[in-house]
Amino acid sequence: MKKAYLIIPIILFILAGLVIGCSSESAGSLKVKVTDAQNIEVNYSFKNGIDVRLFVNGDQKIICGSGNGSDTYIQTDLQPNTNYTFILRDMGDYSDPAGITLATETIQIQSAK
């Protein structure tokens, strides 16, 4: 009977790990548009995210949150003849320090004529 008491907690521990690890996959989207000569509007949304963040040209700009969400970020002080790459990442995949890319979009700012 003592062996059964030892096996039951191990089985429960394994089952708990499986349940916790079975979350829905995260998804996200970006819509990027130039609003004027100095601003880019970035509309983002995500579902089932864990620690979702927005990066611009490799630099983290904001922490968007977890779960489901959407909002707008404004990139200011644009430089002419420059590409701006926006990446929405789910940082909840701790096996990869860079996180999981949910969406990416690049826009180029042309020089003023």
3-state SS, 35-98, equals: EECCEEEEEEEEEEEEEEEEEECCEEEEEEEEEEEEEEEEEECCCCCEEEEEEEEECCCCCCCC
Q: How confident is the model at residue 98 (pLDDT cuts 50, 70, 90)?
A: confident
Q: Region of 81 please: left (phi>0), alpha (psi -120 to 50) or beta.
A: left
In-domain check, residue 93: yes
In-domain check, residue 35: yes
In-domain check, residue 81: yes
In-domain check, residue 7: no
pLDDT at 19: 41
Q: Which has more confidence, 73 or 14?
A: 73
Note the pLDDT tens digit of each residue in 48-83: 999 999 999 999 999 999 999 999 999 999 999 999
The mean per-residue pLDDT over the stretch 19-44 comes to 83
The answer to whether 84 and 61 are in contact (CB under 8 A) is no
Q: Domain range holding 102?
A: 25-109
In-domain check, residue 6: no
In-domain check, residue 9: no
Give the chain's domain count.
Answer: 1
CATH number at residue 87: 2.60.40.10
